[in-house]
Amino acid sequence: MSSSVKCKFRKEEVNKTLWEIPLRYASLRLVGSGAYGSVCSAIDLKTGEKVAIKKLSRPFQSEIFAKRAFRELILLKHMNHENVIGLLNVFTSATSFNDFHNFYLVMPYMQIDLQKIMGHHLSEDKVQYLVYQMLCGLKYIHAAGIIHRDLKPGNLAVNEDCELKAKKYIQSLPKIPKKEFPLLFPNASDLGKLSTHDKRFGEIEDAVSQEETIDSLSRIDSLEKQTQELKLKLDDLENRSRRNNLRFINIPDSYQNDSLYALISKTIPLKLGLPQECYNVKIERLHRIGPPKILHPMRPRAVIVKYLDYCDKNRLFQAYKKTTYTRSGRK
């Protein structure tokens, strides 16, 4: 972790907020802000990688704010999994306890979240890969005895390589047996103020004190709903099986056991009335096989009129009676 003694800091104003960061972090750009702080992207000159730096909003304003900041720091520090956001660095410019008013968290930078890409068409392979990563991250979190209480697409970060990481541990709470809850949290009535949705203590206590199996199943159920939403973004033909695809284009059942290429290779010569020896010819050469094409004796204009219905024929005939045409133009 960074030390205020070993590194030099610089001051920079971002979105009317003063940031004090080490010189190793350059190109500070605001990514987003919320009730608990602001996040900026930056380039780590030491590693050359792009990182996300979070400045907590008044972390020591009250005991509640301090507990929230401490919980987020501890959770990020101990999360070490490729599908879970972890902590890369933490620093402060303070040199004494009395000056210690802010600190910054450095995390891996992820371009967007899952909510922003769900409006686009996703291939089935990408959906499977995203769901697999969600399950891996969720399993790791549960194995650590943590419940992510705000699991949703907006809290699942994704980068350009389709790599996914779970984030927003401010809503995470440990799995605690009901009988141990009052002992570990004697002032637990304040926990209701920590929730994004401003839940009361009774709701928080009931949720936290549930059996571990029920809590885990509820997280899986939430994940299953997100998976279903992702699948709805697939194209119709990608969702159908091969048999259903063939039925969709009205292919006879007798051909459904053949490959689609073999099916077309047999069907086209049959429909064109070509001899049997043409069946094994590549489709690209079918236009060169068979007797020469016989031109229709009727003129193009007569062919067009032939396919007009009665109303169109009558309208065309009435227009013809009113005027005559020559090669040079209208008379």
CATH of the domain at 69: 3.30.200.20
| Residue after which a domain boundary falls, among 108, 137, 152 | 108
Query: Which residues lie closer than 8 Å to 324 by C-beta, 6 or more apart?
Result: 331
186-213 burial, b at 16+ Cβ within 10 Å, e below that, comes to: eeeeebeebbeeebeeeebbeebbbeee
Are residues 270 and 168 part of one domain? no
In a domain, 252, yes or no: no
Q: Which of 117, 148, 144 is nearest to 134 (CA)?
A: 148
pLDDT of residue 51: 94
**Residue 29, pLDDT above cutoff 70:** yes
Confidence label for 259 from pLDDT (cuts 50, 70 and 90): low
Q: Domain span at residue 16?
A: 9-108
Structural domains in the chain (count): 3
C-alpha distance from residue 48 to each of 42, 43, 60, 65, 300 (Å): 10, 6, 32, 33, 70
> Token pair 């040199």 is at which residue?
95
pLDDT of residue 195: 42
Cα–Cα distance between 301 and 123 in angstroms, integer? 48
The answer to which of 142-151, 191-200, 260-269 has the lowest mean pLDDT is 191-200
C-alpha distance from residue 317 to each of 236, 251, 307, 330 (Å): 46, 42, 15, 16
Cα–Cα distance between 204 and 193 in angstroms, integer? 10
Are residues 143 and 185 part of one domain? yes
| Residue after which a domain boundary falls, among 108, 132, 161 | 108
**pLDDT per residue over 85-123, tens digit each?**
889 999 988 888 888 888 899 999 988 888 888 877 778
Are residues 203 and 123 part of one domain? yes
In a domain, 93, yes or no: yes
**pLDDT per residue over 156-204, tens digit each?**
888 888 888 887 754 455 554 555 445 444 544 444 444 444 444 445 4
The pair phi, psi for residue 199, each rounded to 5°, is: -75, 150
In a domain, 88, yes or no: yes
Are residues 102 and 34 part of one domain? yes
In a domain, 4, yes or no: no
Return the higher-pLDDT residue of 49 and 183: 49
Task: Please check if 55 is assigned to a binding site.
Answer: yes
Are residues 70 and 30 part of one domain? yes
